Amino acid sequence: MSDAGLRESLAEVVRGRRAELGLSQRELAKRAGVADATISKLETQQLSPSLDTLAKIAAGLDLDVAALISAAAPPKGRMRPSYTVASGSWAGMLRELAEQVVSDMGSVEEAAAALGMEAGVLQGWLDGAG
């Protein structure tokens, strides 16, 4: 899956979940604590959000960030996405994002709590198990 494919998949997941909850883009933005334009740009594939922004949007959708990312990733058994980051892989992207959040928060446990996910999942990202 290309970067554009991942953005498209994420846009579909956010748009679909927002519709399930009966929320407008503005209502989701308010629930997530982000600008209205952030939701619009995400849903029109004009934004590659940071992990922090994804966590906020996931919370606004009553999901944890891991569930949001997993929903946007290809089903098991299919090829892994070819998301290009410094490390050059999907697992590398997750590891890089996890490292940044853990660095900002001070510990895996605090970062996981802030992201609404289990510490073991975040540790798995750090260990490269995307």
Tens digits of residue pLDDT in 70-92? 777 755 444 444 434 444 555 66
Confidence of residue 2 (pLDDT cuts 50, 70, 90): low
Long-range contacts of the stretch 106-113 (C-beta < 8 A, 24+): none
Which of 24-33, 44-53, 113-122 is least confident? 113-122
| pLDDT at res. 120 | 85
Q: Does residue 95 register a pLDDT over 70?
A: yes
| pLDDT at res. 87 | 44
Q: Are 40 and 25 in contact (CB under 8 A)?
A: yes
Q: Does residue 57 register a pLDDT over 90?
A: yes
**Range with the largest mean pLDDT of 1-10, 50-59, 65-74, 106-115:** 50-59
Which CATH architecture fits 1-74? Orthogonal Bundle (1.10)
Name which of 16, 4, 128, 125 is nearest 68 in CA terms: 16
* Burial status of residue 77 (CB atoms within 10 A of its CB: 0-12, 13-18, 19 or more): exposed
Q: Are 53 and 69 in contact (CB under 8 A)?
A: no
Q: Does residue 39 register a pLDDT over 80?
A: yes
* Domain ranges (residues) in the chain: 1-74, 84-130
Q: Does residue 33 register a pLDDT over 90?
A: yes
Cα first-last separation, the chain: 15
Pick the more confident residue, 111 or 92.
111
Q: What is the pTM of this model?
A: 0.58
